[in-house]
Amino acid sequence: MTRTSLLRRIAPVAAVVLLAAVAPAAPAFAGTSEEDHVAAREALRRGEILPLARILAITARHVPGDVIDVELDREDGQWRYEVKVLTSTGRVREVKLNARDGAVLEIEDE
């Protein structure tokens, strides 16, 4: 698969992520239940997590490229964003961030 065809396939995903970025009360969430989404919105309202737009800006400073996936998870009582980025070289990298303060926890190649 060429880089161009890959970009065409992920363009709809990138559009959804961009829409999510401008909707600060609705961060992406890895779970699928309504309760998960409510919990994420409440965490954002209480200031326990940063809005997705801030997370994407932090991610872009560390790993420039096109965002192809975003998840918000809660592990061991702490919220964490996982952002997958397609770099200009065609490599997919995953950036894990502390959802409360945006600290980069890990960057790994997929």
- Residue 47: the pLDDT is 94
Please report, rounded to a whole number, the percentage of residues in the chain having pLDDT higher than 90.
58
Question: What's the rounded mean pLDDT across residues 89-107?
Answer: 97
- Residue 9: the pLDDT is 53
Whether residue 73 is predicted with pLDDT greater than 60 in this model: the reply is yes
**69 and 81 Cβ atoms separated by less than 8 Å:** no
- Residue 56: the pLDDT is 97
CA 29 to centroid of chain Cα atoms: 9
Whether residue 85 is predicted with pLDDT greater than 80 in this model: the reply is yes
**Crossing angle, helix 3-21 and helix 52-62, to 10 degrees?**
140
CATH 3.10.450.40 fits 3-109, yes or no: yes
Whether residue 86 is predicted with pLDDT greater than 70 in this model: the reply is yes
The contacts of residue 91 (CB under 8 Å, 6+ apart) are: 109, 110
What average pLDDT does the structure give for the chain? 80
Please report, rounded to a whole number, the percentage of residues in the chain having pLDDT higher than 70.
71
- 15-63 pLDDT, tens digit per residue, is 444 444 444 434 454 555 778 888 889 999 999 999 999 999 999 999 9
Q: Which amino acid is at 59?
A: T
CA 109 to centroid of chain Cα atoms: 15
